[in-house]
Structure 1
Amino acid sequence: MLPLAPLAVMSIQQLPPAALAYLGDAVYELYVRRFYLLPPKRLQSYHSQVVAQVRAERQADHLRSLMPSLTETELEFVKRGRNAATGRPKRVDLSVYQQATSLETLIGYLYLTNPQRLVQLLAQLEFDRPI
Protein backbone atom coordinates (compact mmCIF):
# COMPACT_ATOMS: atom_id res chain seq x y z
CA MET A 1 0.00 0.00 0.00
CA LEU A 2 1.14 3.53 -0.56
CA PRO A 3 2.40 5.03 2.70
CA LEU A 4 0.20 8.03 3.39
CA ALA A 5 -0.24 9.97 6.60
CA PRO A 6 -3.52 9.01 8.29
CA LEU A 7 -6.34 11.55 8.14
CA ALA A 8 -8.27 12.73 11.18
CA VAL A 9 -11.33 10.63 11.98
CA MET A 10 -13.43 13.81 12.16
CA SER A 11 -12.55 14.62 8.54
CA ILE A 12 -13.40 11.06 7.47
CA GLN A 13 -16.79 11.15 9.14
CA GLN A 14 -17.75 13.99 6.79
CA LEU A 15 -17.19 11.80 3.74
CA PRO A 16 -20.18 9.93 2.36
CA PRO A 17 -19.88 6.14 2.76
CA ALA A 18 -20.01 5.76 -1.03
CA ALA A 19 -16.76 7.76 -1.29
CA LEU A 20 -15.09 5.51 1.27
CA ALA A 21 -16.37 2.43 -0.58
CA TYR A 22 -15.04 3.83 -3.86
CA LEU A 23 -11.58 4.17 -2.33
CA GLY A 24 -11.86 0.87 -0.46
CA ASP A 25 -12.72 -0.99 -3.66
CA ALA A 26 -9.49 0.22 -5.26
CA VAL A 27 -7.38 -0.57 -2.19
CA TYR A 28 -8.90 -4.05 -1.86
CA GLU A 29 -8.32 -4.86 -5.53
CA LEU A 30 -4.72 -3.65 -5.32
CA TYR A 31 -4.17 -5.85 -2.26
CA VAL A 32 -5.63 -8.89 -4.05
CA ARG A 33 -3.58 -8.20 -7.19
CA ARG A 34 -0.41 -8.04 -5.09
CA PHE A 35 -1.36 -11.28 -3.33
CA TYR A 36 -1.60 -13.15 -6.64
CA LEU A 37 1.45 -11.56 -8.27
CA LEU A 38 3.78 -14.46 -7.43
CA PRO A 39 4.56 -16.90 -8.83
CA PRO A 40 4.70 -15.25 -12.27
CA LYS A 41 1.96 -16.37 -14.65
CA ARG A 42 0.07 -15.31 -17.75
CA LEU A 43 -2.05 -12.18 -17.50
CA GLN A 44 -5.25 -14.17 -17.98
CA SER A 45 -4.36 -16.28 -14.94
CA TYR A 46 -3.79 -13.17 -12.84
CA HIS A 47 -7.10 -11.80 -14.01
CA SER A 48 -9.05 -14.97 -13.26
CA GLN A 49 -7.68 -15.30 -9.74
CA VAL A 50 -8.27 -11.63 -8.90
CA VAL A 51 -11.80 -11.54 -10.32
CA ALA A 52 -12.73 -14.56 -8.20
CA GLN A 53 -11.75 -12.61 -5.07
CA VAL A 54 -13.18 -9.18 -5.87
CA ARG A 55 -16.68 -10.48 -6.59
CA ALA A 56 -19.37 -9.21 -4.22
CA GLU A 57 -20.03 -12.72 -2.90
CA ARG A 58 -16.40 -13.19 -1.87
CA GLN A 59 -16.22 -9.73 -0.31
CA ALA A 60 -19.34 -10.54 1.71
CA ASP A 61 -17.65 -13.75 2.91
CA HIS A 62 -14.59 -11.76 3.92
CA LEU A 63 -16.67 -9.25 5.85
CA ARG A 64 -18.42 -12.02 7.77
CA SER A 65 -15.06 -13.55 8.68
CA LEU A 66 -13.78 -10.22 10.02
CA MET A 67 -16.86 -9.20 12.02
CA PRO A 68 -15.74 -10.77 15.34
CA SER A 69 -12.43 -8.86 15.13
CA LEU A 70 -13.86 -5.40 14.47
CA THR A 71 -13.93 -2.53 16.95
CA GLU A 72 -17.06 -0.51 17.69
CA THR A 73 -15.84 2.31 15.43
CA GLU A 74 -15.12 -0.12 12.62
CA LEU A 75 -18.56 -1.67 13.03
CA GLU A 76 -20.04 1.82 12.74
CA PHE A 77 -18.40 2.27 9.33
CA VAL A 78 -19.57 -1.19 8.27
CA LYS A 79 -23.10 -0.14 9.15
CA ARG A 80 -22.72 3.15 7.27
CA GLY A 81 -21.52 1.24 4.21
CA ARG A 82 -24.42 -1.20 4.38
CA ASN A 83 -26.94 1.63 4.61
CA ALA A 84 -25.32 3.44 1.67
CA ALA A 85 -25.71 0.46 -0.67
CA THR A 86 -29.24 1.13 -1.81
CA GLY A 87 -28.93 0.55 -5.55
CA ARG A 88 -30.39 -2.48 -7.29
CA PRO A 89 -27.53 -4.81 -8.16
CA LYS A 90 -28.09 -6.85 -11.32
CA ARG A 91 -26.08 -9.94 -10.52
CA VAL A 92 -26.34 -10.52 -6.76
CA ASP A 93 -28.82 -10.35 -3.93
CA LEU A 94 -29.16 -6.93 -2.28
CA SER A 95 -27.88 -8.21 1.09
CA VAL A 96 -24.71 -9.58 -0.54
CA TYR A 97 -24.19 -6.27 -2.32
CA GLN A 98 -24.67 -4.39 0.97
CA GLN A 99 -22.10 -6.59 2.73
CA ALA A 100 -19.58 -6.11 -0.09
CA THR A 101 -20.09 -2.34 0.04
CA SER A 102 -19.69 -2.47 3.81
CA LEU A 103 -16.31 -4.19 3.46
CA GLU A 104 -15.19 -1.63 0.87
CA THR A 105 -16.32 1.22 3.14
CA LEU A 106 -14.38 -0.25 6.06
CA ILE A 107 -11.27 -0.67 3.92
CA GLY A 108 -11.53 2.92 2.66
CA TYR A 109 -11.96 4.21 6.20
CA LEU A 110 -8.99 2.25 7.55
CA TYR A 111 -6.81 3.14 4.59
CA LEU A 112 -7.30 6.81 5.43
CA THR A 113 -7.14 6.59 9.22
CA ASN A 114 -5.19 3.53 10.34
CA PRO A 115 -3.21 1.75 7.61
CA GLN A 116 -1.56 -0.57 10.16
CA ARG A 117 -4.95 -1.83 11.31
CA LEU A 118 -5.98 -2.28 7.67
CA VAL A 119 -2.94 -4.45 7.01
CA GLN A 120 -3.73 -6.46 10.16
CA LEU A 121 -7.31 -7.14 9.03
CA LEU A 122 -6.39 -7.88 5.41
CA ALA A 123 -3.85 -10.43 6.65
CA GLN A 124 -6.75 -12.32 8.29
CA LEU A 125 -8.54 -12.83 4.98
CA GLU A 126 -8.27 -16.26 3.42
CA PHE A 127 -7.68 -16.29 -0.31
CA ASP A 128 -7.29 -19.28 -2.57
CA ARG A 129 -3.58 -19.98 -2.93
CA PRO A 130 -1.96 -18.68 -6.12
CA ILE A 131 -1.67 -21.27 -8.86
Structure 2
Amino acid sequence: MTKLKDPNVLNGITLAYVGDAVYEVFVREHLVVTGIVRPKQLQNTATKYVSAKAQAALITKAQEDEILTATEQEIFLRGRNAKSYTHAKNTSVGTYSLSTGFEAVFGYLKLDRQDERIAELANWCITQVETGALHGYKFN
Protein backbone atom coordinates (compact mmCIF):
# COMPACT_ATOMS: atom_id res chain seq x y z
CA MET A 1 0.00 0.00 0.00
CA THR A 2 1.33 3.42 -0.90
CA LYS A 3 1.57 6.36 1.41
CA LEU A 4 -1.40 8.73 1.50
CA LYS A 5 -0.69 11.88 -0.46
CA ASP A 6 -1.03 15.27 1.14
CA PRO A 7 -4.64 16.35 0.43
CA ASN A 8 -3.35 19.86 -0.24
CA VAL A 9 -1.75 18.66 -3.49
CA LEU A 10 -4.60 16.48 -4.78
CA ASN A 11 -6.75 17.76 -7.61
CA GLY A 12 -10.37 18.73 -7.07
CA ILE A 13 -11.81 15.72 -8.89
CA THR A 14 -9.87 13.30 -6.68
CA LEU A 15 -11.01 15.13 -3.55
CA ALA A 16 -14.60 15.10 -4.81
CA TYR A 17 -14.37 11.36 -5.50
CA VAL A 18 -13.62 10.77 -1.81
CA GLY A 19 -16.00 13.47 -0.59
CA ASP A 20 -18.96 12.04 -2.49
CA ALA A 21 -18.65 8.81 -0.50
CA VAL A 22 -17.97 10.56 2.81
CA TYR A 23 -21.04 12.78 2.64
CA GLU A 24 -23.31 10.06 1.27
CA VAL A 25 -22.40 7.62 4.07
CA PHE A 26 -23.06 10.34 6.63
CA VAL A 27 -26.50 11.01 5.13
CA ARG A 28 -27.35 7.31 4.80
CA GLU A 29 -26.47 6.68 8.42
CA HIS A 30 -28.56 9.69 9.48
CA LEU A 31 -31.60 8.43 7.55
CA VAL A 32 -31.41 4.93 9.01
CA VAL A 33 -30.93 6.26 12.54
CA THR A 34 -34.04 8.43 12.12
CA GLY A 35 -36.07 5.31 11.34
CA ILE A 36 -36.19 5.15 7.56
CA VAL A 37 -35.39 1.55 6.64
CA ARG A 38 -37.15 0.71 3.38
CA PRO A 39 -34.70 0.83 0.45
CA LYS A 40 -36.93 2.81 -1.92
CA GLN A 41 -37.77 5.37 0.77
CA LEU A 42 -34.09 5.61 1.73
CA GLN A 43 -33.10 6.28 -1.87
CA ASN A 44 -35.83 8.85 -2.47
CA THR A 45 -35.11 10.68 0.78
CA ALA A 46 -31.33 10.61 0.32
CA THR A 47 -31.71 12.45 -2.99
CA LYS A 48 -32.92 15.53 -1.08
CA TYR A 49 -29.48 15.67 0.55
CA VAL A 50 -27.02 14.27 -1.97
CA SER A 51 -28.23 15.25 -5.44
CA ALA A 52 -26.10 17.70 -7.42
CA LYS A 53 -28.90 20.28 -7.07
CA ALA A 54 -29.06 19.85 -3.28
CA GLN A 55 -25.28 20.02 -2.93
CA ALA A 56 -25.13 23.15 -5.11
CA ALA A 57 -27.76 24.80 -2.91
CA LEU A 58 -25.95 23.72 0.26
CA ILE A 59 -22.56 25.06 -0.80
CA THR A 60 -24.14 28.33 -1.97
CA LYS A 61 -25.90 28.76 1.38
CA ALA A 62 -22.71 27.79 3.25
CA GLN A 63 -20.87 30.56 1.45
CA GLU A 64 -23.63 33.08 2.12
CA ASP A 65 -23.68 32.11 5.81
CA GLU A 66 -19.86 32.23 5.85
CA ILE A 67 -19.46 28.86 7.55
CA LEU A 68 -16.53 27.68 5.44
CA THR A 69 -13.00 28.31 6.61
CA ALA A 70 -10.58 30.03 4.22
CA THR A 71 -8.98 26.65 3.45
CA GLU A 72 -12.37 25.02 2.81
CA GLN A 73 -13.28 27.87 0.47
CA GLU A 74 -10.03 27.33 -1.46
CA ILE A 75 -10.75 23.60 -1.69
CA PHE A 76 -14.29 24.31 -2.88
CA LEU A 77 -12.91 26.52 -5.66
CA ARG A 78 -10.38 23.85 -6.62
CA GLY A 79 -13.19 21.30 -6.95
CA ARG A 80 -15.59 23.67 -8.68
CA ASN A 81 -13.00 24.74 -11.23
CA ALA A 82 -11.66 21.25 -11.96
CA LYS A 83 -12.05 20.00 -15.50
CA SER A 84 -14.52 17.13 -15.53
CA TYR A 85 -15.43 15.11 -18.56
CA THR A 86 -18.72 13.93 -17.12
CA HIS A 87 -21.66 15.55 -15.40
CA ALA A 88 -24.76 14.40 -13.58
CA LYS A 89 -27.91 13.56 -15.46
CA ASN A 90 -30.64 16.20 -15.50
CA THR A 91 -28.37 18.94 -14.22
CA SER A 92 -26.49 21.83 -15.76
CA VAL A 93 -22.71 21.98 -15.98
CA GLY A 94 -22.73 24.90 -13.52
CA THR A 95 -24.74 22.97 -10.94
CA TYR A 96 -22.50 19.95 -11.38
CA SER A 97 -19.42 22.13 -10.87
CA LEU A 98 -20.80 23.55 -7.62
CA SER A 99 -21.62 20.03 -6.47
CA THR A 100 -18.09 18.87 -7.30
CA GLY A 101 -16.71 21.72 -5.20
CA PHE A 102 -19.01 20.72 -2.33
CA GLU A 103 -17.80 17.13 -2.48
CA ALA A 104 -14.16 18.24 -2.71
CA VAL A 105 -14.49 19.96 0.68
CA PHE A 106 -15.66 16.72 2.31
CA GLY A 107 -12.92 14.73 0.55
CA TYR A 108 -10.25 17.14 1.70
CA LEU A 109 -11.49 17.05 5.29
CA LYS A 110 -11.55 13.24 5.29
CA LEU A 111 -8.05 12.90 3.88
CA ASP A 112 -6.84 15.55 6.31
CA ARG A 113 -8.44 13.49 9.10
CA GLN A 114 -10.75 16.29 10.24
CA ASP A 115 -13.61 14.02 11.28
CA GLU A 116 -15.10 16.48 13.79
CA ARG A 117 -15.33 19.15 11.10
CA ILE A 118 -16.93 16.66 8.71
CA ALA A 119 -19.60 15.92 11.31
CA GLU A 120 -20.12 19.63 11.96
CA LEU A 121 -20.58 20.46 8.26
CA ALA A 122 -22.65 17.37 7.50
CA ASN A 123 -24.97 18.09 10.42
CA TRP A 124 -25.30 21.69 9.25
CA CYS A 125 -26.23 20.41 5.78
CA ILE A 126 -28.80 17.98 7.17
CA THR A 127 -30.35 20.76 9.25
CA GLN A 128 -30.59 23.02 6.18
CA VAL A 129 -32.41 20.32 4.21
CA GLU A 130 -34.72 19.32 7.06
CA THR A 131 -35.72 22.87 8.00
CA GLY A 132 -36.47 23.85 4.42
CA ALA A 133 -33.74 26.49 4.41
CA LEU A 134 -32.91 25.67 0.77
CA HIS A 135 -36.35 26.43 -0.68
CA GLY A 136 -35.19 29.68 -2.31
CA TYR A 137 -32.30 27.99 -4.11
CA LYS A 138 -33.15 26.74 -7.59
CA PHE A 139 -30.57 24.91 -9.63
CA ASN A 140 -31.04 22.99 -12.87
TM-score (norm 1): 0.82
Give the alignment partner of residue 25 of structure 2, picking from 17, 30, 35.
30
Partner of 2:57: 61
- What is the match of residue 21 of structure 1? 16
**Which residue pairs with 1:115 in the alignment?**
115
Residue identity opposite 1:50 in structure 2: A
Identity %: 31
- SS of 1:84's equivalent? coil
Instruction: For residue 44 of structure 1, report the CA deviation from its aligned partner.
Output: 1.1
**Deviation of residue 52 (structure 1)?**
2.9
CA deviation string 1:54-106 (max 9, x = no partner) = 11000101111212111111111001001114435342111111110000000
Moved over 4 A (4+): none
* Alignment partner of 1:128 is 2:123: no
Amino acid at match of 1:79: L
Gapped regions of structure 1 (runs ≥ 5) = 1-6
User: Do 2:13 and 2:84's aligned partners in 1 also have CA atoms closer than 8 Å?
Assistant: no
**1:83 equivalent in structure 2:** 81
Unaligned 5+ segments in structure 2 are 132-140
Partner of 1:3: none
- Deviation of 1:20 after TM superposition, in Å, equals 0.7
Residue 136 of structure 2 is matched in structure 1 by none
- The residue that corresponds to 2:104 in the other structure is 105
Name the Cα RMSD after superposition: 1.9
TM-score w.r.t. structure 2 length? 0.77
